[in-house]
């Protein structure tokens, strides 16, 4: 039976897995690497670390799965979105890659909107507003602040596409990842010549754009030797980590939505047509499904809010968990279950690192509101979990507003592994939620894309239907649903009330530094 490799070039490490064509996982391995923060708000990595981790993890997976090189029939690539790798004419990396979570480009975002003719016209061209994480403002920043580096640049690649170049020698990307550069005409699935002209960026700097399951090149002999594989293996387009993760969750049909509660939270909806939020509150990108799109909302500190609580205020639970050999999150969710839904009027705003959806406000901050003498630790923990879930519901409400049907919500991430949090999501969303048999995320998704792209399935929808199944459903509890329906509007009003204060607070912080 043919084997397919899925490789996900993440921010903290690269994960490689081997999948049989029937969807069975044979082995997986992860290789970690450092993140550099040379200045406040900057985030960079050395692309050589991605390639080394790819080589190391592929060899580990082949060994662990007892896989012969001749059995590998295709490779799919995923990775952190929006990053930028700058190459010179010798095809060498010019400087460290600037990553998705780098915040240095606020001035360039304003410049892009101005040159585009305003925010609305920019959204009309590329379906999204300018955000600091995107690739386009990084290119403008390099041109403005490191002109010598910009002048040497002949090609700009996204993280996974640099690994593709190392594998195949080809400059290529695919529609889902390219959507996050802010330079793709998302509707027509090609680079936006009007915006490139307005920004004076040469199209020659950008790679060819493919559909996600298309073969983009073959493994070269030199790369095959480093990876322990045979030359000529086809490498498909793959997908940005969110689109690839959605494929891995089977979000490839109308009406199926995913809610992924990791450090950040992502609500992802498949769409058969281009559906753009005129206010730019959610992203509209090309999907990794041929000729389809997706709408995505991002909560920056979803599970990250509970992680913050554990690290800063949950030391007793961390210590106790070591004694009884359990995860401290189990103790925290047990504690949260002691408080009633709605936490007797206590709200937590989970904006510990600013917020993306729906506010696009880097100055937003976390806050407890409504504290009284009645509130104890159980209320504090539960309110943090509720706050993260309210923020996820914000994205669901916008998706519903765009008239994208929501027939099934598939949960993944840490919020799906906890029975308590699964129930809370069902109650707060007011809808049935389900979990599935696949938990491998983007690497699994691009392995499926590789199977589809090499002809082992007719397409990615067939691949997902054959391999991904729902295994558990949770329905909302009537009384909890009633309470959250009453509380949710208050959650939204609290941000609006504090928005100007958050901006003033940021100015105060800067003045006091």
Positions marked active-site: 241
Report CA-CA distances (Å) from 22 to 1, 215, 245, 404, 448. 9, 20, 18, 31, 10
Q: What is the residue whose two structure tokens read 């290789």? A: 31
DSSP collapsed to 3 states, 153-188? CCEEECHHHHHHHHHHCCCEEEHHHHHHHCCEECCC
Residue 477: DSSP 8-state: P
Residue with tokens 């050589």: 48
C-beta separation of 13 from 30 below 8 A: yes
Structure token pair of residue 299: 């909560």
Total residue count of the chain as it appears in this document = 513
Task: Return the SS3 of 424.
Answer: helix
d(CA 170, CA 255): 36
Please say whether the beta carbons of 296 and 240 come within 8 A.
no
Q: C-alpha 370: how far from its chain's center?
A: 32
User: Is-contact 389 260, C-beta < 8 A?
Assistant: no
Place of tokens 């558990």: 472
Strand partners, 9: 14, 79
């Amino acid at each position: 039976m043919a084997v397919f490799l899925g490789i996900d070039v993440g921010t903290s490490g690269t994960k490689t897995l081997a999948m049989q064509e029937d969807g069975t996982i044979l082995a997986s391995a992860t290789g970690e690497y450092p993140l550099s923060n040379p200045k406040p708000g900057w985030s960079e990595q050395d692309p050589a670390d991605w390639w080394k981790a790819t080589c190391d993890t592929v060899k580990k997976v082949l060994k662990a799965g007892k896989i012969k090189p001749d059995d590998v029939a295709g490779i799919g690539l995923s990775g952190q979105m929006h990053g930028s790798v700058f190459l010179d004419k010798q095809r060498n990396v010019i400087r460290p890659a600037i990553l998705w979570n780098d915040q240095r480009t606020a001035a360039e975002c304003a410049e892009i909107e101005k040159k585009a003719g305003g925010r609305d016209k920019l959204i009309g061209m590329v379906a999204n507003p300018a955000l600091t994480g995107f690739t386009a403002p990084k290119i403008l920043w390099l041109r403005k602040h490191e002109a010598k580096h910009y002048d040497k640049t002949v090609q700009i690649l996204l993280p996974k596409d640099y690994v593709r170049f190392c594998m195949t020698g080809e400059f290529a990307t695919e529609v889902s990842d390219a959507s996050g550069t802010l330079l793709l005409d998302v509707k027509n699935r090609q680079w936006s010549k009007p915006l490139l002209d307005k920004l004076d960026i040469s199209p020659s700097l950008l790679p060819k754009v493919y559909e996600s399951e298309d073969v983009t090149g073959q493994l070269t002999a030199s790369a095959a030797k480093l990876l322990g594989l045979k030359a000529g293996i086809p490498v498909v387009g793959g997908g940005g980590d969110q689109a690839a993760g959605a494929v891995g969750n089977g979000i490839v049909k109308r009406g199926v939505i995913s809610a992924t509660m990791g450090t950040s939270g992502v609500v992802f909806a498949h769409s058969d047509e281009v559906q753009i939020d005129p206010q730019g509150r959610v992203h509209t990108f090309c999907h990794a499904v041929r000729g389809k799109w997706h709408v995505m909302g991002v909560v920056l500190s979803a599970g990250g809010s509970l992680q913050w609580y554990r690290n800063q205020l949950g030391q007793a639970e961390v210590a106790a968990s070591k004694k009884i050999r359990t995860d401290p999150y189990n103790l925290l969710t047990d504690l949260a279950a002691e408080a009633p839904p709605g936490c007797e009027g206590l709200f937590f705003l989970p904006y510990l690192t600013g917020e993306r959806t729906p506010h696009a406000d880097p100055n937003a901050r976390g806050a407890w509101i409504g504290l009284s003498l009645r509130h104890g630790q159980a209320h504090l923990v539960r309110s943090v979990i509720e706050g993260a879930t309210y923020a996820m519901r914000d994205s669901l409400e916008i998706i519903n507003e765009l008239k994208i049907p929501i027939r099934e919500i598939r949960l993944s991430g840490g919020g799906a592994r906890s029975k308590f949090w699964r129930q809370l999501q069902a109650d707060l969303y007011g809808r049935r939620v389900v979990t599935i048999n696949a938990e491998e995320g983007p690497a699994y998704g691009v392995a499926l894309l590789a199977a589809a792209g090499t002809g082992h399935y007719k397409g990615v929808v067939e691949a997902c239907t054959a391999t991904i199944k729902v295994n558990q459903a949770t329905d909302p509890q009537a009384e909890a649903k009633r309470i959250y329906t009453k509380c949710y509007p208050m959650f939204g009003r609290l941000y609006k009330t504090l928005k100007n204060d958050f901006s003033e607070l940021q100015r105060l912080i800067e003045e006091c530094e």
